[in-house]
Amino acid sequence: MRREPPQRLADYGPLFFPAGMLTLFFVVPFATMIAVSFFQRQQGGFYTPDFVFDNYARFLSLFFGKVLGFSLFLAIAVAIACVVLGIPFTYLLARSKRRIQVIWLVALLCILSLSEVMIGFAWSTLFSRTAGLTNLLVWLGLVSQPQALTPSFGAVMTAMTYQAFPYTVLVIYPALVRLDPTLTEAARTLGASPIKAFFTVVVPALRNTILATLIMVFIFALGSYLLPQLLGRPQHWTLSVLITDQAVYQSNMPFAAAMAVFLVLVSLALVGLALYAGRQKEAK
């Protein structure tokens, strides 16, 4: 089929609907948020239109810097955990029998149907002292007393990885199925042990998929604000938690908006950096 560039205004017609939706539901709210981030807050009231940098200035403190740093660290850690667990899992899944694949994929899709609240409370029960997993260890004789595993960083990490894991598998699965299975066999005939073949052939061949998965889970985890509150201590709270706190409980819309804009910019910068690094390596 020959593709011609659009000639008349009507040729752009099919684009109007998505463009309109995007403007209405993304550009307008986001522009409003950017505008609000420069507004002046009224003590005890709401806010008045203005153009001040107070909100951003307040943000540049050690406290908020630490929270931002922790949020990014948590999101990166969850992304890496998902990929490190997801690739071997999906590799084995893609090579198992059709029936087993279907059962696993249905189970993973079931996790997607659970709300964040349910996941949070389920894990807080599992990590609790009275009804948690440590009771199982006591029964097995591995520990002497049941312990509470929550609130802790590990509990936050576990629940967030659990939540993002199905997405990870669903992104990696098609790429792994399409990967020619004779590639690993070829590596083996060339002298690579199965594990070496996995790391020198399967992982590098999936580099773009891995990068895409990392970025997706990173952004997904960055927006999480319920699980850190349910399963973590105050020092494990992410920037999203503080934004909610400022917007909903402190009625400080301008400051919440400023933090949100900042978070978007930082995450965009990190994604850009990851894509740039990926491109550099490809060009080599």
Partner 1 sequence: MSGLNINHVTKQFGTFTAVNDVSLSVPEGTFVCLLGPSGCGKTTLMRMIAGLDLPTQGSIELAGSDITGVPTHKRELGMVFQSLALFPHLTVGENIAYSLRIRGVAKDVQKKRVEELLGMIHLPGFADRSVNKLSGGQRQRVAIARALAISPKLFLLDEPLSALDAKLREAMQVELRQLQQRLGITTIVVTHDQREAMTMADTVVVMNKGEIRQAAPPVEIYRRPADSFVADFIGQTNLIPVEADSAGRAVILGQTIEAFSMPAGTTKGVLSVRPEDVQITAPGNGAIPATVTFIRDLGGAIETFVEAGGTQVIAVSSPRSRPEVSVGQQVGIRLDPATSVVLAR
CB 130, min distance to partner 1, A: 50
- Of 210, 205, 209, the closest CA to residue 186 belongs to 205
Q: Is 196 in the site for partner 1 (CB under 8 A)?
A: yes
Q: Is 270 in the site for partner 1 (CB under 8 A)?
A: no
The CA distance from 68 to 60, in Å, is 10
Among 188, 219, 251, 266, binds partner 1 (CB under 8 A): 188
Burial class (CB in 10 A: 0-12, 13-18, 19+), 270: middle
Q: Is 198 in the site for partner 1 (CB under 8 A)?
A: no
Q: Is 58 in the site for partner 1 (CB under 8 A)?
A: no
Among 117, 204, 248, 279, binds partner 1 (CB under 8 A): 204
Contacts of 176 (CB under 8 A, 6+ apart): 90, 91, 94, 202, 206
Task: Write out the two tokens for 170.
Answer: 């669903």
Report in angstroms the alpha-carbon separations of 53 from 34, 182, 254: 12, 59, 10
Among 60, 185, 199, 272, binds partner 1 (CB under 8 A): 185
Task: Single out the segment in contact with partner 1 by CB under 8 A; choices: 46-54, 81-89, 176-184, 257-265.
Answer: 176-184
Q: 3-state class of 160 per DSSP?
A: helix
Q: Is 212 in the site for partner 1 (CB under 8 A)?
A: no
Q: Is 182 in the site for partner 1 (CB under 8 A)?
A: yes
Q: Which amino acid is at 169?
A: V
Q: Is 180 in the site for partner 1 (CB under 8 A)?
A: yes
Contact positions toward partner 1, by CB under 8 A?
180, 182-183, 185-194, 196-197, 200-201, 204-205, 207
